[in-house]
Chain A
Amino acid sequence: MSSKQDIFNALKSAAITPQAMPCIDIAPRIDDLVGQFEASLNTVAGTLHRDGGLSALQTTVDEHIAKGMQIISMVDGIIGNREVSDTAHELKDIDYAVIPGDLGIAENGAIWVNNKSLGHRVTPFICENLLLVIEAKSIVANMHQAAKLMTLAPGEFGTYIAGPSKTADIEQALVVGAHGACSLNVYLT
């Protein structure tokens, strides 16, 4: 007999009586979504740039390029100095990655990013610093609303990113920048 069948047979002797699925109906807090998002983003060590949109971002990118930084852009209209490489491993020296986010979540500052706009799946993790771009109108109140809007087709990968990579594994001291990006700046359009 297969192990799957063994497990399923064992499940027949489960003791708890079947329970119904609860209704998930939680009222969203919809006042000042951008303000809520900004406050949440700050608590997860990210920074929001409300004004200037893509042109402010391009100015920042140009400044970084002038300093000799390696920048890959996956956002239309933003020009970096690196292209998507053949292998993911070649991205190891990227200083900044510019990536479009699909949704911003006001309650926790997370941003939903889908692999369709990443080139390689590892892009937002392997870069030293991350620049995300989201539309102000894509900010939703909470995770329940995000669950209804997030795109994740068969075969895809997507991730909620809430701030830069961090750890507190050494004596509970918060250190920003563990394995993923060491900083996160979000540009609003």
Chain B
Amino acid sequence: MSTSKSNVHAHKAEIFCKDESRVDWHSKALWMLREKRDRAAGSLPEWEQLRQIGSEMKLHTLTHLTEYLEEFEKNCTANNIKVHWAKDGAEHNKIVHQILAKHQVKKVVKSKSMLTEECHMNPYLEDRGIEVIDTDLGERIIQLAKMPPSHIVVPAIHMKKEEVGDLFHEKLGTDAGASDPLYLTRAARRHLREQFLSADAAMTGVNMAVADKGAVVVCTNEGNADMGANLPKLQLHSMGIDKVVPDLDSAAVLLRTLARNATGQPITTYSSFYRGPQQGGEMHVIIVDNGRTEMLKDKILAESLKCIRCGGCLNTCPVYRRSGGYSYNYTIPGPIGIAVGAQNDDTNSIPWACTLCGSCSYVCPTKVPLDKIIHHHRRLKSEAGKLPYGKSSYMPLVGKFMASETALNCSMGIARTALKILPGSVLKPFSGAWGKYRELPVAPNSSFEAWFKKNRG
């Protein structure tokens, strides 16, 4: 199969894989994060206990969402926070626009929110004359480059410093050819300070919503959420229904694992709790469903809502590291992206962008059974008659073939003989994509069954 305009994962990955040295570099950068994560996790004796509590606590809240969301809204209202509800991305965008329009907002500073990406909010607001400035450095880089994020925690991980240097030279007027990260970051600091100081409103995502306090928690390393939200008088926070936690102690459990699992830091630099607007200001929280209740209807898919978006599963995934974030047809790439996005994937190929190695489930701080969920997606696609191109023609035959002992034994015998007597060049075409980067196996003398009968039977 050659590189084509197809959106199938393998085709898009092929584009990324054209530059082999970049693939190695990408893989290594992410593996570094995985190693830092391992060191941070290993330094806490209670790490596994925290994962277990995190998992159970998220399952508890997910199975009591009505009560906790009700409690959260009630306490927010008592704290002078305005709460809105949105069924989907379109309604979310409409609510945000109405609030901004009412205050005649021209410029909004936004700090990283995968939910607003999921809702495609930026273009919606820009079409209505509102300037949206992404303020996380990585997000700003890709916004200037007019690209979507390629990772949920380090969105510009796919770009080299020389490319960022060229981009900043063009957009921010930095020196031509300058690529020093310190120099570039300082230039971005100056540029973004101007944005913070001139914005009419701020918008952030929500890491946790504390039900019994009516407060939202926002975590950043750069302080962009807080520079944003604490300067203009109007602050908006978008959250999925899955972000609610019962109380401060349960938020503490997740705060202990979130950064350690994302980047290996003991905690993010700023973990801020907003329990009401600043003096004379206004604070809004928009609670969004956008497919989450639908996922809750499936016992296995429901567990993907335990995710706290640390990105640990992306960093460890051998497929993500070697295919890049843009091959997944969804805002969220990697294992968690497959878990929450596969249902909307028109190519039906995304659940196969996985080796089922299980590394993602092993590192997940809330024990989301990612490999199990991805496997389940394959079943769902198959049951819906939506196997991806190619697989739909031969997979049913493979199923029938594997189910028949005679057919299997007979053809394996032929294969063993063929491997022994025919040259590789004749056989290779039969192995398809599998054989592209692999040597054909050495044929054993007999089948395992025959060996077993002879030696152990």
Interface on A for B, CB 8 Å cutoff?
Answer: 2-4, 6-8, 10-11, 13-22, 24, 26-27, 40, 43-44, 88-89, 92, 105, 107-110, 120-122, 125-126, 142-144, 146-148, 150, 152-173, 175, 177-181
From A16, A88, A158, A170, name the one whose CB has the most chain B CB atoms within 10 angstroms: A170
> Which one of B230, B255, B265 contacts A143 once the chains associate, using CB atoms below 8 Å?
B255
Given contacts A22-B53, A171-B29, contact A15 B298 (CB under 8 A): yes
Interface 9-mer from B114-122, B130-138, B353-361, B441-449: B130-138
Q: Given A14-B302, A144-B252, A161-B270, does the pair A153, B296 have CB atoms closer than 8 Å?
A: no
The 5 closest A-B pairs by CB, nearest first: A180-B223, A155-B276, A108-B266, A10-B293, A178-B222
For B189, list chain A residues within 8 Å (CB).
177-179
Residue from B52, B181, B215, B221 within 8 A of A165 (CB atoms): B221
Indicate if the CB atoms of A122 and B273 lie closer than 8 Å.
no
Shortest CB-to-CB span from B140 to chain A, Å, is 9
Q: Which applies to chain A's interface (DSSP): helix, strand, loop or mixed?
A: loop
Q: What are the residues of chain B within 8 A of A21 when measuring CB–CB?
A: 56-57, 60, 246
Interface string of B7-34 (1 = CB under 8 A from A): 0000000000000000000000100110
Once bound together, how far apart are the Cα atoms of A76 and B231, in whole Å?
25
B residues 110-169 in Cβ contact with A at 8 Å: 135-138, 141, 154-157, 159-161, 164
Contacts of A167 in B (CB 8 A): 137-138, 185, 221-222
How far apart are the CA atoms of A3 and B293 in the complex, in Å?
A: 12
Q: Which residues of B contact A170 (CB under 8 A)?
A: 137, 141, 156, 161, 164, 181, 184-185
Q: Which residues of B contact A (CB under 8 A)?
A: 29, 32-33, 44, 46, 49-50, 52-53, 56-57, 59-60, 62-66, 69, 73, 78-80, 85-87, 91, 135-138, 141, 154-157, 159-161, 164, 181-182, 184-186, 188-189, 192-193, 196-197, 213-215, 221-224, 226-227, 230-231, 241, 246-253, 255-256, 263, 265-278, 287, 289, 293-294, 296-299, 302-303
Q: Report the nearest B residue to A122, measured CB to CB.
A: B230
